[in-house]
């Protein structure tokens, strides 16, 4: 194999491959030069990534190299054209305006190129990249890999109605969902699928590539998801986690609602939480036209700050939530105004952004905590 490629293209394709390298010291990147293109692939037990781009192919062939070492070298290459070829036991990269840089890497033997999967009979849909990125961003912060509940480590992608595509994440103490209104084929995603945090991160990364739409397909046996852009394919093994029926957790009606300025309340919460202990408990004390935030460490620190509420006059109400969860939600939202819906001290607190991208809707639910 022998090719001439642009460093920027090689760097982009190599960067894409990082998502399929859970153990970078053991991972490998495969290259195939054929028909005027260079193809790259990297895979682990959950994710496989393929990239391709046009280049000058001097000699067709396939070669595999250690992923970490190759990635580190590409990152430091000088700008411009790179010649990339194999020798009997090594792979050689030559770069620089006067070909002054040379790096020889070990070649991995006994590896065969695996063709991308093809889903026979699978439905494909084109999703707007900006909307899909927004949906993932609003949810993935509460999908945690070390959750004590198995469903807390995955996001649930499904269709609550024929016209919505929704992603949900919850760990039992908080729940976030975001959805986009779309015209989808009737048979697409009739049963929801669970996506790991890594899968969500890779999908979001694809959405930032600058394309308008992303093609999504799910294998008929619902074991694998494919996301596709021109010259870029992602295959994800779907999680076998059984997602709980979360609809019962969603509040049907909250007694009170107030609109607040998110950036201001976020800064207030961060200041007050400096006095909190490891529970991160934050008291929300509502009174007519006022909200006071309080936190404390038993027998030690105590912090509080009050803000004015222009549209609340339902009397005194006190409740406690996890302050970190609140600031996580605020950090995720893009809307400057947020509606806080609440009831008694045992009812969930619901946060809804006042403005969102067209046809997108999200909700964040925080379970109240009991202070000792």
User: What is the per-residue pLDDT across 248-265, written as a single tens digit (0 to 9) for each?
Assistant: 888 877 778 999 999 999
Give the global pTM. 0.92
Q: What integer pLDDT is reported at residue 370 of this predicted model?
A: 80
Q: Quick one: residue 210, left, alpha or beta (phi over 0 = left, psi -120 to 50 = alpha)?
A: left
Q: What integer pLDDT is reported at residue 372 of this predicted model?
A: 57
- Domain 253-366 matching CATH 3.40.50.10490: the answer reads no
Give the DSSP letter of residue 35: T
User: What is the per-residue pLDDT across 159-214, written as a single tens digit (0 to 9) for each?
Assistant: 999 999 999 999 888 999 999 999 999 989 989 999 999 999 999 999 999 999 99
Residue 147's nearest CA partner among 197, 214, 82 is 197
**Matching CATH number, 124-172+180-247, of 3.10.150.10, 3.90.1310.10, 1.10.220.110, 3.90.1150.10:** 3.10.150.10
Round to whole Å and give the CA distance between 117 and 71. Answer: 25
Q: What are phi and psi of 133, to 5 degrees?
A: -60, -40
Round to whole Å and give the CA distance between 321 and 84. Answer: 56
Delimit the domains of the chain by residue range: 2-106, 124-172+180-247, 253-366
2-106 architecture in CATH? Roll (3.10)
Q: What integer pLDDT is reported at residue 86 of this predicted model?
A: 95
């Amino acid at each position: 194999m022998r090719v001439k490629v642009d460093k920027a293209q090689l760097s982009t394709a190599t960067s894409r491959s990082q998502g399929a390298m859970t153990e970078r010291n053991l991972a490998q990147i495969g290259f195939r030069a054929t028909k005027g293109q260079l193809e790259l692939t990297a895979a682990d037990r959950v994710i496989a990534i393929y990239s391709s781009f046009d280049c000058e192919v001097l000699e067709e062939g396939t070669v595999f190299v250690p992923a970490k070492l190759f990635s580190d070298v590409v990152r430091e290459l000088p700008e411009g054209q790179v010649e990339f070829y194999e020798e009997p036991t090594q792979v050689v990269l030559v770069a620089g305006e006067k070909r002054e840089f040379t790096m020889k890497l070990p070649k991995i033997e006994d590896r065969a190129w695996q063709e991308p999967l093809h889903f026979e009979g699978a439905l494909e849909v084109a999703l707007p990249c900006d909307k899909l990125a927004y949906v993932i961003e609003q949810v993935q912060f509460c999908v945690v890999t070390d959750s004590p509940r198995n469903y807390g480590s995955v996001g649930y992608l499904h269709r609550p109605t024929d016209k919505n595509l929704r992603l949900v994440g919850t760990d039992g103490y908080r729940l976030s969902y975001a959805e986009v209104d779309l015209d989808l084929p009737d048979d697409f995603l009739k049963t929801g699928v669970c996506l790991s945090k890594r899968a969500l991160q890779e999908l979001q990364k694809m959405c930032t590539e600058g394309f308008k739409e992303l093609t999504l397909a799910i294998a008929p046996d619902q074991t694998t998801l494919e996301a596709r852009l021109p010259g870029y394919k992602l295959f994800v093994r779907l999680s076998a986690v059984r997602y709980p029926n979360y609809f019962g957790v969603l509040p049907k009606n909250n007694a009170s609602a107030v609109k607040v300025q998110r950036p201001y309340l976020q800064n207030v919460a961060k200041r007050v939480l400096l006095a909190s202990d490891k529970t991160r408990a934050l008291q929300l004390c509502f009174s007519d036209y006022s909200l006071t935030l309080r936190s404390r460490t038993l027998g030690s620190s105590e912090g509080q700050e009050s803000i004015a509420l222009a549209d609340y006059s339902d009397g005194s109400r006190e409740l406690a939530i996890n302050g970190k969860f609140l600031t996580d939600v605020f950090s995720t939202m893009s809307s400057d105004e947020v509606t806080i819906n609440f009831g008694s001290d045992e009812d969930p607190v619901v946060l809804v952004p006042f403005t969102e991208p067209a046809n997108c809707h999200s909700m964040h639910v925080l379970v109240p905590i009991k202070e000792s």
